[in-house]
Structures are given as structure tokens and as C-alpha cells.
Structure 1
Amino acid sequence: MNTPPPPSAPHRSARGIAAAAAVCLLVAGCSGSGGTSGSALGAGSRADGARLKVALVTHASEGDTFWNLVRKGAQDAAAKDGVDLTYANDPDAAGQAALMRDAVRQKVDGIAVTLAKPQAMKGPVAAARAADIPVVGLNSGIDSWQSEGIMEFFGQDESLAGRAVGDKLDELKAKHALCVIHERGNVALEARCAGVKKTFDGQTDIVYVEGTDATATAAAITARLRQDPTIDEVVTLGAQFALNAVKSVKQSGSRARVATFDLNQNLVKAVKSGDVQFAVDQQPYLQGYLAVDSLWLYKTNGNVSGGGVSPVLTGPAFVTKANVASVAAFAAHGTR
């Protein structure tokens, strides 16, 4: 494996599929020689003996169950590694950037951050690098993490996932899909719908809704279904929005089916009952867990997952009525 650069050095621009990197990390950790910390350090300890401090900064909205899974994974990794973890979130890009700058000023030992709106995070990431604080990305920003100088990335290739959904809709003989984007300008969400449109042989329409207002979201979907009865598939980009869409289908009298990206405990029940055809699971718990664990590995053993050139992919995986039982128990525990 090539020796990875420290976080303050520019990253190489090559990208590749990271399945092997993911397996390596999960089984034994991919070794590298970047960083100044050595394996002689105690678990979760800095050179001065203090516990490592890691900040997780996301673009999550309050009450979004998806992010509870990300946070749970991060907390479990921190507990295992003996790391002090702080969590902060703001769906506003400027607010998220300010939270990351706060973490830099607090002189944490590592930062994990989402890049839903990458341009807004360029300055804070540069500030962290200038302070020799390693930064890893997760969830959003798979096309931007290297150019921003981030050390590692854990998440789903959203364009690939969208294309997979388009293929799935063709298998299900759908003809007209409505793709619901709940946050305008979020690069991950835009990539999902663009991917669906690229491979789906039928017609794909996009509707933007206010994701922080469940009532308004349901009303917007209901209106579109009433307006166009040829829509036979509603594709949402989050579990709670799929449940809104199920209600909208019933209220509108539409015959459309519902499919979604992302998973939570209530969505598992909806897949079991057949209200939702399938969900694309990007494993948010795993994203949070690996992001925090990777910073511990880097600080205590110099490891860099993917060698600093490839993302570690956590999805996509399809959850359908045929296999939902295999994830139901984990969903009940709050980890899927």
C-alpha cells in the first residue's frame, strides 16, 4: 500500500472503488505510515496521556431519525476507543461551517464532517488542516472530499445508488416516477434523482419540498399525484418522507407505489407490510462508526482507510419484503 500523506498535505486525485478498503478496515484496519502518533499510545490517548477529542459536525435537521443512527454509530465507536466525542449539527450551510470552526478553535484531535454543500465547508476544512487537525468526511460529498483536502471518506456513491434505483424501477415495470427532493441544493440528494433519471427507462419528474415541514411535504406530494394520475412510482430520499408519501398516495387516490432511499425502524415495518416496495440502505450507523473509528486509528496507529485515494463505500444495499426480516432486529436496537 502506498504511504498516505498527513492530513495537511494535498491529496492525490485518483478515485477507485473502495470495497476492498472497506473490508480491510472492518477486519483489521488498513495500515499506513501517515501521522506522527505511534501504536505505543494507549487506546483513545494523546501523547500527553489525555483522552483523544473528536468532533462530529453534520448538516442534520432536528428530529431526523436518520441522523440518530449516524450519531449512535459515532458514539459506539467513541465508547469502544475511549474517545471524548462532541456532536453538533446545523442544516444551514453557514451554521454548519461555524460549528466546524468552533471545533478547530477548541483544538480537538480530529473532526468528522458531512459535505452536503461542499463550497461552504472549504474554509473550515482549510482552517482545520492549517491547525494540523485531521478531517474525515462522511455521508455527503463523495465527489468533493479529495479536492477539499479531506483525509478519508465514508459513505454511499449517491449517483451509483440512484442508477441502481432506476434499474430496479425498470425491473418492477414502472413507467412514471416522481423523485422527491427534500432539501434544495444538497449535492447528495440531487445526485440520487439524477442517477434515477439516467437509468430509468420511464419518465422521471422531480419535485422539491420543504423537508422540515411534514405537513407541507405530504401536501405537495398529494397535489402532484392528483395533478398527474400517470405517476406510478414515488421515490423519496429519506425514510420519513416515504411514510409521508404513503399517506399522500392514499389521500390522492393514486395507484402509485412508494420506494425510498434510507431506512429506519418505522420504514422497516412499512416494507414488511408492503406499504413501501423497497429501501436503499446506506448504513448510516456504519458511517458514523467508521468516521470516528478511523480518526482513532489514524491518531494511534497512523492508519488511513482507502489509502487516502478511495472512499470507503457503505452502500447501496436494497431492503425488500424478501430480506427485511434480516435487518428488523438491528433496526429495533437502533443501529439500522
Structure 2
Amino acid sequence: MPRLRRSRIALIATLVATTAVTAACTKRSDSTGSNNSGGSSGRKLSVIVVSGPLSDPFFGAMKTGADNAGKELNVSTEYLSPTSTDASGPTLARLMQAAVAKKPDAIVVGNFFPAAQDPEIKAAVKAGIPVVVVNSGQSDWKQLGALAFVGIEPAVAGTRSGEQSAKLGVKKGLCVNTVPGNPALEQLCQGYTDTLKKSGGTASELRIPYQDATNPTKVTQAIEGALKADKSIDGVFATGSIVAESALTAANDVGRKLTIGSGDPSTKVLKDIEAGKIQYAMDQQPYLQTYYGVLIAKQYVQYRISPSGNVLTGPLVIDKDSAAAVLKINETYQGIRGAA
């Protein structure tokens, strides 16, 4: 066979082989999603977030985090939450069932009532849906088969709050828990109580049913009752911004000067910290919790990578020295640093 003909045949064979390899590589990269921003077919990934009611401004920041993550990461997100009057464990369990039935690519969930929600989280994992636990559920997410936890270690946050209160001179503290039965808030109050005791003071817990938590009148009345029953209380740690405002109203109503700490910031709380009416807020950055939750879900679905431990978003202590800077951010970018 002439040399020229043999060379042409070899060249053709090389081109055919190269084309086949290129096609195989293209198909492989498409199947892992590494060459597109969505799923295996190029569509957007879908992530459902199951969390608390939007009547509580804290969860408004969580929805904003999920919404912004969806926009910036090209992910379709949906936020499922109970109404303000029925934020119970069974209701959240039913929302989790509804999320699983929609067959999303992943679910991000706040595990606020483990007794009711644990079985549904396990069911989602068993159905092959990756789950990221956020905000509440730090102690048992691994046992449930979830990918990761994003939030705070509540006992640590409670300890930080107790230390802050003790530094400000509190001798008899009151921790107001508006979600009795939620392990995270119980650990938060326990950390606050234990730390005050170690500092030479004492503390107790006031438990208010969650259905009353977004009713400032009922919360104020409950705190007033506790203050009237024990005139030695000189500090209150409220597990949310609405409750902190109610504590301030209650203190004014009974004519008491209290050291008040809030479990999260809001524009109103930040202004009161600036004015010296509320002394501090413990910021767990709820916006980051759902933003990172959606991010982790996407990275796992596309690339099968995820954090190996807790992703901590706080707590950060906001006091009179730092309130102005946070307030400016909160007014410029509403919903990023907590409730508007």
C-alpha cells in the first residue's frame, strides 16, 4: 500500500477515535452535572425548605436566605411553613410529608420538634432525597442520615448570653422560652441558667406556648406576671426579638429596670440597643442558615460533596458598640441581618 494512502487512513482512524472519546467525555460530564448549573438534564435543581412561620420575623430572614440562594445559585426553591396559629410538631411533620411527595432534588429543614419530625426526615432520606438540617436539630442530624447541620450550638449560645448578662451585673435572670418542647431553645435557656449560677447568680425559665409567642399582648402579660411574682429578677433573656420587645414593655409597665438580651436582632431591637433600652442581642444569622443549606444541597446533588460536620453561623454578640453598623446593614439590605 502506498505510504500516502496509509497515512491518510491512519489520520482518519485517529479522528474517529478522538471524536468517540470527546463524545464519551461530554456525556459523562453531563451526567454528573459538572458542565451545567442545574441537574443531569440541564434543568434547575429543586430544593424545598421546611421551616417556621413567616408571622415570626426571625423566619423571614430564613426565607430571604433561601430565596437569594435560589436566585444566585440557579436553584428552584420553595419555602413551606405553618401558619402562626399552628406551628406544632404534627403540622411540621405534615409539611415534611408534603415536601417529600413533591420529589425535590433535596430538602432543607428546621428540626424544631424531633419527636414528630424525626420519622419524616428519615423517610425522606430513605426515599433517596438528600436532607440538610438547619437552625434546630444540631444534636441528632447524623443519626437521621442528613448531610449536614447549619446553625448554632444552642448550649454555647446560652452560655454566651449568660456570660454577657453576668458581665452586665445580672444576679437573678429569667429566660423566656416561647417554643416549649424544642430542644434547641431548652438548651439555650439551660446554658443561660447554668452560666448565671456559675457566676454567683440564679435564673429560672418562663415557658410560653408557641401559639401565643407572636401575640405581644399575651407575651407581655406573661412576663409581667413573672416580674410581679419575683421582684428580685433583674435580667431577662428572650429567645426572640418580639419577645425581647415584650420584655421591655413589661419592665416599663411594672416600673422595673432590667438588663434585657434578645435571642436574635431586628431593626427595632437594634435601635433599642443603640438607645440603651435593650443591652444585647445574640445573632445566629438565620439568613446564612438557609442560604448555606441550599448551597450544600446543590453541591451534594451535583458533585456529591458536603461538609463533614456542623457549619456554625453564630452566635455573634451585638451590643451598643456594634449595633449601629448592623443596623445600617439591616436597613440597607432588609432581611439579611435578621428581622426588619
Normalising by structure 2, we get a TM-score of 0.84
Instruction: Flag the structure with larger Rg.
Output: 2
How far apart, in 1, do the equivalents of 2:42 and 2:54 lie?
35
Superposed CA deviations along residues 102-134 of structure 1, whole A, max 9, x for unmatched, are 111111000000111112122211221122110
Equivalent in the alignment of 2:55: 63
Alpha-carbon offset, residue 39 of structure 1: 5.1
- 143, 157, 161: which one aligns with 1:161: 157
Equivalent in the alignment of 1:261: 263
Equivalent in the alignment of 2:285: 283
**1:180 and 2:176 are equivalent in the alignment:** yes
- 138, 141, 147: which one aligns with 2:143: 147
The one-letter code of the counterpart of 2:326 is V
How far apart, in 1, do the equivalents of 2:217 and 2:102 lie?
39
Q: Which 5+ residue runs of structure 2 have no aligned equivalent? A: 1-29
Superposed CA deviations along residues 173-213 of structure 1, whole A, max 9, x for unmatched, are 21000111112111111111100111113110111123132
The one-letter code of the counterpart of 1:84 is S
Equivalent in the alignment of 1:46: 39
Alpha-carbon offset, residue 98 of structure 1: 1.1
How far apart, in 2, do the equivalents of 1:168 and 1:37 lie?
52
Equivalent in the alignment of 1:225: 227
Structure number with the bigger relative contact order (C-alpha 8 A, sep ≥ 6) is 1
Partner secondary structure for residue 213 of structure 2: coil
Q: Which 5+ residue runs of structure 1 have no aligned equivalent? A: 1-35
Alpha-carbon offset, residue 152 of structure 1: 0.6
Does the Cα contact within 8 Å between 1:226 and 1:254 map onto a contact in 2? Answer: no
Alpha-carbon offset, residue 62 of structure 1: 4.0
**1:54-93, aligned counterparts within 5 Å?**
54-58=47-51, 60-90=52-82, 91-93=87-89
The one-letter code of the counterpart of 1:66 is F
Alpha-carbon offset, residue 171 of structure 1: 1.3
Superposed CA deviations along residues 119-157 of structure 1, whole A, max 9, x for unmatched, are 212221122112211000000011121111111110010
Partner secondary structure for residue 315 of structure 1: coil
How far apart, in 2, do the equivalents of 1:164 and 1:102 lie?
37
How far apart, in 2, do the equivalents of 1:274 and 1:172 lie?
12
Partner secondary structure for residue 146 of structure 1: helix
Partner secondary structure for residue 103 of structure 1: helix
Equivalent in the alignment of 1:134: 130
Partner secondary structure for residue 251 of structure 2: helix
Equivalent in the alignment of 2:101: 105
Does the Cα contact within 8 Å between 2:236 and 2:258 map onto a contact in 1? Answer: yes
| TM-aligned CA distance change 1:128 to 1:205, over 3 Å | same
How far apart, in 1, do the equivalents of 2:57 and 2:118 lie?
27
Equivalent in the alignment of 2:17: none
Alpha-carbon offset, residue 88 of structure 1: 0.6
Moved over 6 A (4+): none
Does the Cα contact within 8 Å between 2:33 and 2:40 map onto a contact in 1? Answer: no
Partner secondary structure for residue 141 of structure 2: coil
Greater helix content: 2
How far apart, in 1, do the equivalents of 2:240 and 2:31 lie?
39
Alpha-carbon offset, residue 297 of structure 1: 1.3
How far apart, in 2, do the equivalents of 1:271 and 1:328 lie?
10
The one-letter code of the counterpart of 1:281 is D
How far apart, in 2, do the equivalents of 1:270 and 1:39 lie?
48
| TM-aligned CA distance change 1:265 to 1:283, over 3 Å | same
Does the Cα contact within 8 Å between 1:37 and 1:302 map onto a contact in 2? Answer: no
How far apart, in 2, do the equivalents of 1:77 and 1:160 lie?
27
**1:295-314, aligned counterparts within 5 Å?**
295-305=297-307, 307=308, 310-314=309-313
How far apart, in 1, do the equivalents of 2:152 and 2:31 lie?
29
Superposed CA deviations along residues 70-119 of structure 1, whole A, max 9, x for unmatched, are 11011101101111111111221111111111111111000000111112
Superposed CA deviations along residues 302-324 of structure 1, whole A, max 9, x for unmatched, are 2202x2xx100001110000111
How far apart, in 2, do the equivalents of 1:89 and 1:214 lie?
21
Partner secondary structure for residue 204 of structure 1: strand
Q: CA RMSD in A?
A: 1.4
Equivalent in the alignment of 1:27: none
How far apart, in 2, do the equivalents of 1:187 and 1:39 lie?
38
The one-letter code of the counterpart of 1:286 is L
The one-letter code of the counterpart of 1:190 is E
Equivalent in the alignment of 2:15: none
How far apart, in 1, do the equivalents of 2:244 and 2:102 lie?
39
Superposed CA deviations along residues 35-69 of structure 1, whole A, max 9, x for unmatched, are x96352411x11122211110001x2341111000
Alpha-carbon offset, residue 290 of structure 1: 0.4
**1:214 and 2:216 are equivalent in the alignment:** yes
Aligned residues with identical type, % of pairs: 31
